[in-house]
């Protein structure tokens, strides 16, 4: 994270970074609390030659089973792998594959950079 544009509780729009407001910058990056509403982010990227990733969708009714299996599997994965889950009620849009239209799902997502 390089900087954040925020609106603080007093209604003031602020540009926050490590130089201008180091304590607020720290707090907004995970220090807990309710400090401001973030309206824009500026962040830096680093090169990754190849990234593998995807997602698996399961019936939402199986959320407890899926999360038990996911939490048992996750500690044994590589440190560079990132994984998350979301419980979703998907909209009935034609852009979605037929089995997912309007479905209640639990989605497991993951990505891992190619190791060199």
What CA–CA distance (Å, rounded) separates 14 from 20? Answer: 10
Domain span including residue 38: 3-42
Does 95 have pLDDT greater than 80?
yes
> In the prediction, which pLDDT does 32 show?
61
- Tell me how many domains the chain contains: 2
Backbone angles phi, psi at 89, to 5 degrees: -110, 105
Does 116 have pLDDT greater than 80?
no
pLDDT in tens, 57-93: 999 999 999 999 999 999 999 888 999 999 999 999 9
In 10 A of CB 16, how many CB atoms?
24
> In the prediction, which pLDDT does 93 show?
96
Same domain, 60 and 109: yes
pLDDT in tens, 26-66: 888 876 667 788 899 999 988 888 999 999 999 999 999 99
Same domain, 21 and 72: no
> In the prediction, which pLDDT does 107 show?
95
Query: Is 71 in a helix, a strand, or coil?
Result: helix
Same domain, 60 and 106: yes
What CA–CA distance (Å, rounded) separates 48 from 81? Answer: 13
């Amino acid at each position: 994270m390089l900087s954040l544009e925020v609106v603080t509780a007093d209604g003031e729009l602020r540009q926050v970074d490590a130089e201008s407001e180091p304590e607020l910058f720290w707090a907004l990056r995970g220090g807990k609390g309710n400090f401001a509403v973030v309206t824009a982010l500026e962040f830096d990227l680093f090169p990754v030659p190849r990234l593998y990733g995807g997602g698996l969708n399961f019936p939402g009714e199986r959320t407890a089973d899926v999360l038990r299996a996911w939490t048992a599997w996750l500690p044994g994965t590589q440190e560079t792998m990132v994984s998350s889950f979301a419980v979703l009620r998907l909209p009935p849009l034609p852009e979605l594959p037929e089995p997912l239209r309007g479905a209640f799902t639990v989605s497991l997502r993951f990505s891992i950079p190619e190791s060199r």
